[in-house]
Amino acid sequence: MDNGNISVRTSGPAADKIGTSLRRAILRGEMQAGTRLRQDAIAQQFAVSHIPVREALRQLAAEGLVTIRPNRGAIVSRLSSAEARELLEIRCAIETQAVRWALPHADADVLARAEAALMESECTEDVARWMEINWRFHFTLYERAGRPRALSLIESLDLQIDRFIRVLFTASDYRKQAQEEHRAILAAYRVGNAAAVTSLLEQHITETSRLLTELLERYQDE
């Protein structure tokens, strides 16, 4: 964390800025699951009092990224394999519906951007970068759904699970497999084949779920 002592008063509430910064650190794996989040240390780091820190932590807790234990402090949330499986099941249910909504409204712009994301993801070796592009690829497919709430919900589910998907990179050849699956999804999307898109998307998420829950189960045995 290289924030230094920034002025947090000039662009919105301090609590929001702190929350954004902590969220980023958690999502990039700089703060691992189980890490203690001490109010006074964070307050010192951001050169603020502990009040906006508490507010930021509450916000992150509501998002599921942080677990608050009253009077004992906050930690970066862990995720059990059962929870992971379930989150991905929910994602699957909503994302397949979102893509059905979006597909009839897909245009050349959407296709070009999804293709660009796919090309970009093939050129990067950086895990954090790849995860960002992965999200952008998926989001682009759903963009024309006309359902902001659903997309927001998908994003919040994504936030809870993507930092764990990150570990698949070192534990399996996840990236190669995911790229192939993305290619197939985009090909079906391009010709407007809704049944194929949803089926491929479902397989993609289900396979991710299988790999991730296996990995988390191994973690829990250690």
Partner DNA sequence: TCTAGATTCAGTGTCATATTTGATCCGAAC
Partner DNA sequence: GTTCGGATCAAATATGACACTGAATCTAGA
Pairing assessment for the beta strands 73-76 and 66-69 based on DSSP bridges = antiparallel
Give the phi and the psi of residue 211 in degrees, each rounded to 5: -60, -45
Give CA–CA dist 33/193, Å, rounded. 39
By CB under 8 A, name the one of 40, 89, 155, 180 that touches a copy of itself: 89
49 near DNA (CB under 7 A)? yes
Tell the residue number behind the tokens 């192939």, with chain if given: 180
Closer to DNA by Cβ: residue 15 or 103: 15
Residue list 18-37, contact with DNA (CB under 7 A): 37
What whole-number distance in Å separates Cα of residue 97 and Cα of residue 205? 14
- What tokens appear for 59 in the block? 């916000």
**Nearer to DNA among residue 19 and residue 110 (C-beta):** 19
**Are the beta carbons of 90 and 49 closer than 8 angstroms?**
no
Tokens of 43: 């307050």
Whether the CB-CB separation of 63 and 156 falls below 8 Å is answered with: yes
Q: Are the C-beta atoms of residues 5 and 47 closer than 8 Å to each other?
A: yes
Partner whose binding site includes residue 14, from DNA, a copy of itself, none (CB under 5 to 8 Å by kind): DNA
Q: Under the criterion CB under 7 A, does residue 38 sit at the interface with DNA?
A: yes
Query: Whose Cβ is closer to a copy of itself: residue 4's or residue 70's?
Result: 70
x/- track of binding to a copy of itself for residues 30-59 (CB under 8 A): ---------------------x--xx--xx
Give kind and range of the element (H or E) at residue 75.
Answer: strand 73-76
**Which residues within the stretch 73-92 sit at the binding site for DNA (CB under 7 A)?**
73-74
List residues near DNA by CB under 7 A.
Answer: 8-10, 13-15, 37-40, 47-52, 54-55, 68, 70-74
List residues near a copy of itself by CB under 8 A.
Answer: 12-13, 15-16, 51, 54-55, 58-59, 62-63, 70, 83, 86-87, 89-90, 93-94, 97, 147-150, 153
